[in-house]
Each structure stands twice: as C-alpha cells, then as structure tokens.
Amino acid sequence: MAKDYSKLAQQIVEQVGLDNIESVTHCQTRLRFVVKNRKLIDDKKIENLDLVKGVFFGSGQYQVIIGTGLVNDVYSAIDKLGTVNAIYGKDDVNSGESNVNNENKTKLQRFMAMLSGIFIPIIPVIAATGLFLGLQSAFTNAQVLKLFGAVPSDIPTSVNTVISVLTGTVFSFLPALIVWSTFRYFKGTPIVGIVIGLMLVSPTLPNAYDVAGGTAKAIMLFGHIPVIGSQGSVLTALVAGYIGANMENYFHKHVPNVLDQIITPFLTMLLTFGIMILGVGPIVHWIENVMVAGVESVIHLPFGIGGFLIGAAYPLMVLVGIHQMMIAIETSLLAATHLNPLITLEAMYGFANLGVALAMIIRSKSKKSKATFVGAFSSQLFGVSEPTLFGVLIRYNFKPLIVTVLTSGFGAAALSILNVAANSYGLAVVPSYLMYIYNARDLIIYTIVSILTVIVAFIATNMFAIPKEILIEDVVNKEKIKDNAVYAPIDGHTLALDKVNDPVFASGMMGQGIAIKPDGSAKVNIYAPQTGKLNIVADTGHAYGLTTDSGTEILIHIGIDTVSLKGKGFTINTKADQIVNKGDLLGSFDPKVIKENKLDDTVMVIITNSKDYMNIESQPDENISHGSALIALQQENTIGINDSVALQK
C-alpha cells in the first residue's frame, strides 16, 4: 500500500505560505517553489519536517530538497491538495523553469545573471594578465636583479617591448573583449561585437588616457563634438554591446534574407559606433568615472571603516547571490587604475571561512559532520565557498556566519588602512597570493592579514559558534559490515563532489558520491553502474535512479539544471521499473547540446542512502572508463543517535 504524503505536503505548503506561493514544480530531487517573498519563509521549520533533507534558494526558486523518488510522491500530494498552482507533474519545464528564468526573476536577479554571463568568460585572461604583470614586476625589480649582478637598464629594450605585449594587450583592448562577450550574451554575432569593440579603441582615435593626461587632443567632429577612444571604459563597452546586439537582432527580423548577410552587420556597426561616438559614449564614460570615484572613496574611508563595511557585506552578498555585481566594478577599477583594491577586501571572506571550517573539523566528534567540514575546507582553499556557506555557515543557527562576517570585516579594514591592492581578479584564497607578487610590500601585508583572519575566525568559532550537535559522537553498531561497489556509468575525468557548480550536490544534501566530467563533446552513452531495478527514469533523460539487489540507492544526474532542456540532446533506452544488469545501456546524451545552452554537463553519481553506510570512498582527479570501479561502499547495521534515544523511550 502506497504511503500517504498528504500531511507532509500540507505542512510544506503551510510553511512556505499558501498566499506566498505563485507556482510549484519539481525535478528529480527537489520541489521548486516560485514565491512572492522569500523572507516570509522559516527555513528551519521546513528543514525539521520529516523527509526534508534541506532547503536552498537559487535561480529565483525556493527549493525544498526531498530526494529521488520521494519527491514525485510529495509533489503529487501537493498537486492533489488543489490549493497551489502545480505547474507540472514530471520533468517538463515548459511553463515552469523557463517562466522562472524570465518573468518570475526580479530585475535585480536578471541584472546579476547578465553581469555574470558577460564578465565570467573574460576573467581568465584578466587573471593571467595580472600574473604577467606580477612576474614582470618581480623579475625587473632592482633588488632582484642585483642578486644576479644586474640593473634594470641591462634589460634590452626589445625584451621590454615583447613583454609589454603580454602585460598590456588585455587592458588596451578590454572594451573589445567586453563588447564581444555582451554580444554573445544577448544572442548577437560575437565577431560583429568584437569589431565594434575594436572600433571604440582604434589607434586612429585619440587615446582616452593621453587626452586625460594632456598629451593629446580630442577630434572635434563638425567643429563641436569631441571624439576620443574608449580605452579603459567598461560601462561604455557594456552599453555598446547591449545596443549593438539588440539592434542586430532587430535587423535580422526585418531585413530581407537575400540582403541580411551584408546589410545587417553594416547597419549594426555603423549605427552602434555612431551612437557611441556622437554622445552616448562620453556620457556613459563620465558616469563610470563617478562610480569608480565613489567606490574608491568608500574603500578609503578613514580608520578602515570602508574596508570593514565591504568585507563584512561581501559574505552576505554571496549568500543572496548579488556578488556578481562586484565583477563589473572591479573591472572598471582595473581599467582605470590597473589596481583592484576591492577584491583585496572581499578576499577576507574566504580566509574567514577557512578558520570557521577548520575549527569545526577539529572540534567535531561526529564523523559524518567532520566529513562535511573537511570537504568544505578543501574546496574553500581554492575559492569555492558554496559548500562552506551552505554546509557550515547557515546550517547551525547562523553563528558561524556571524563569525565569518565580522572577521572578514576586520581583516578587510586592516588591508584598507594599509592601502593594499591586487593587480587583477579571478583568484581566491590560496591562488589569490599570485595577484600581489608585483609588489613585495603588498604581498607581505596581504599574507600576514589573511593568516591572522584565519586564526581569529578559528578562535572565535571555538569560543562562540561550535554547535552542540557536532560534539556528540555517532553511535553505531559495526557488527555487520558488507563491502559493495558502484561502477562508472560513463567515460571521463572524476571530480570531487564538493567542486560541482550546484550547492545542493556540492554540500552533500543529496548524499555522498562523485562527479565525472565527460570526455570530449561527442555523444556519451550512460551505462548501469550496478545490477538492480530502475525506480527513476526521468522523462527528460537527465536523471536515472537505481536500487541494487543489496539495497544501494544510486542517482545518476546528468548535468546541472539540464531539466530545462526538456529532453533535448538526451536519448532514453530504458523505462522505470525495468531490471538492468551492470553495464546495460540506460541512455545517452550530447554534451554539445548542453554546452550550447550554457549549461554544465558534469555527471553526478550519488549514493542517496549514504546514511546506511559506514564508509563511502571515491577517488577524484582520475581518468576513468565506464564499468571501472568508481565508488567503494562499506555497509553497516546502524543505530544512530536518534534511534538509540527512541529505543530508550
């Protein structure tokens, strides 16, 4: 007889708020609510409900993590209540996910998504240029050269010229890169965008820096309109990209097909360049200069007040998802001054997280909790903060978050007082030191302050923020232990689960496991990782759930947010309730389709009943073939703390 989930459904709806819910959908692991006011929801009350594994707010949706299989039953129970707008019953997001990504996102959420989509593709080249500049400063420093019996004048002019190509190209043509990326984001033709960007910084036009320095004069068009290049203007490039891409899309719809290939790019380049040069560009550049000056004035408020405000606010910005806005400001700072003091202050968030996670690791007596903390600490070392944020900071009455906010603020305050600044962005925590090798003073100060931030956060966590529940040892009965294994469903390169770009999977809410990055871009076959019964075969082909004969519950989840593709690029060769043998073909997918839609094609292999196992081991950073051993399991008969308490009662 099927279990009745109507009570749980009613409880979830009541806690989210009947009048607060605009619609509800679901995928293979979670309920997805579109809500009017996220602040009205008490996360703790929902997390304490039976069968709820956790909650998460992202992509404009309030997500209640239920788990594979059960989420279908709970959703059906919500649908049967008839009190909220249940959009669909299976993984069809025609009116659900797409609606969330557009109408149901706030203007701020859409703006943040835009900035992220535009600037993230150019972060690697800016970070690399910062490293080039750092190495140049280090190896042309008079004190360094003195060790080799040389002086800066000994370096040939030709060598300095060649080095300047490495260090100067990105910032000289930064507007071109931004216009290209903006065109790409707004579905324009990227090559048209990059040509418009190059026009804005054409060497034929007076260089903006030279005009500002008084060594060059603007061209006076028609005797009245000053025309100069847009070197260093990030906002000008963003506006040019937005206008140009939308203009091109308009012309594509209205120019006859026979003329489209010539007339559309001609009109797009002519009109966009004309609009920017004849007035919009200078106005936007002036606005950008005011913004940069405003940020710099906050950073340099006396007594480190500005630094504290930025350092303390940044963890909260990450929590609510508006931190991507800072990338645009950092890019403007770099373009204008070639220095980035903002990321220096923001970086203390990562070091504070290290101190909190380290304290949790040392104090925790629960092996399962300790495993979560170790994973969070490891990923935070290289700047991935979501496992720490969602698995540590906001999980235990927010006290660890308060420690991070305050210690991040104080560390940033010290750095602002001492005027420390990076020379690029895109690097965090351990790799971030590379952004300061251009200046020995800044590198030393940054190193000292960052280490002190870790220490202070560690001490404060130990004193005020250690949750009582992690101080209780796991009570287990290890009399019966059985080994088992799960095998790779695809070919690829293994990746630690806490490194994937989904906080729910990365934090271990769904269970322990490992991820696999597919090899190449050709069609990928998905094979059964063990013998058992398929209890889940998603209609969209992006997820399979298998229960083995020994009771292991395995979820294979292809990609992140690939439910939005509605089956495009996926082929299904099996059906629910089918018995499969290890190595049987379950289906296939095309990574190219996933990437064309700007989604992540990482495949997660999760043991959803991880609590039933004493040890779950896997090896990241290895090339693996389908059918090879992927996850080793040790099963146990476990009497947990809650069970032992229940037995005593």
For residue 408, the model assigns a pLDDT of 94
For residue 98, the model assigns a pLDDT of 38
- pLDDT at residue 102 greater than cutoff 70: no
The C-alpha atoms of residue 449 and residue 348 are separated, in whole angstroms, by: 9
For residue 471, the model assigns a pLDDT of 83
pLDDT tier, 33 (very low <50, low <70, confident <90, very high otherwise): confident
- pLDDT at residue 591 greater than cutoff 70: yes
- pLDDT at residue 566 greater than cutoff 80: yes
Q: Which of 8-17, 340-349, 452-461, 630-639 has the lowest mean pLDDT?
A: 630-639
Nearest to 405 by CA among 320, 506, 327: 320
- pLDDT at residue 327 greater than cutoff 80: no
Which CATH class, in words, describes the domain spanning 485-635? mainly beta
The C-alpha atoms of residue 34 and residue 464 are separated, in whole angstroms, by: 36
For residue 435, the model assigns a pLDDT of 85
Structure-token match 């870790």, residue found? 454
pLDDT tier, 108 (very low <50, low <70, confident <90, very high otherwise): low
The average pLDDT across 620-638 equals 81
What is the domain partition of the chain in residue ranges?
A: 5-81, 114-130+323-475, 156-299, 485-635
Percent of the chain surpassing pLDDT 90:
30
The average pLDDT across 325-329 equals 75
Nearest to 315 by CA among 262, 248, 387, 393: 393
Q: Hey, what's the torsion of the CAs at 135, 139, 144, 147, to 10 degrees?
A: 130
The answer for 493, left when phi > 0, alpha when psi is -120 to 50, beta otherwise, is beta
For residue 572, the model assigns a pLDDT of 94
The average pLDDT across 283-291 equals 80
pLDDT tier, 320 (very low <50, low <70, confident <90, very high otherwise): low
Domains 5-81 and 485-635 share a fold: no
- pLDDT at residue 478 greater than cutoff 50: no
pLDDT tier, 213 (very low <50, low <70, confident <90, very high otherwise): low
Residue 364 and residue 370 in contact, taking contact as beta carbons nearer than 8 Å:
yes
- pLDDT at residue 5 greater than cutoff 50: yes
The average pLDDT across 125-154 equals 76
pLDDT tier, 104 (very low <50, low <70, confident <90, very high otherwise): very low
pLDDT tier, 103 (very low <50, low <70, confident <90, very high otherwise): very low
- pLDDT at residue 1 greater than cutoff 60: no
| pLDDT tens column, 436-453 | 888 889 999 999 999 999
pLDDT tier, 321 (very low <50, low <70, confident <90, very high otherwise): low
For residue 115, the model assigns a pLDDT of 75
Main-chain phi, psi angles of 36, to 5 degrees: -80, -40
Q: Which helix (H) or strand (E) holds 32?
A: strand 30-35
| pLDDT tens column, 8-28 | 999 999 999 988 888 887 776
For residue 475, the model assigns a pLDDT of 56
CATH topology of domain 5-81: Gyrase A; domain 2 (3.30.1360)
Residue 417 and residue 532 in contact, taking contact as beta carbons nearer than 8 Å:
no
Going by their DSSP bridges, the two strands 629-636 and 613-618 should be labelled as: antiparallel
Percent of the chain surpassing pLDDT 70:
88
pLDDT mean across residues, the chain: 82
* Total-model pTM: 0.52
- Active-site residue set: 27
For residue 498, the model assigns a pLDDT of 84
Q: Which two tokens stand for residue 417?
A: 């007082």
- pLDDT at residue 139 greater than cutoff 70: yes
For residue 92, the model assigns a pLDDT of 35
Main-chain phi, psi angles of 459, to 5 degrees: -65, -45
Higher pLDDT, 147 or 643: 147
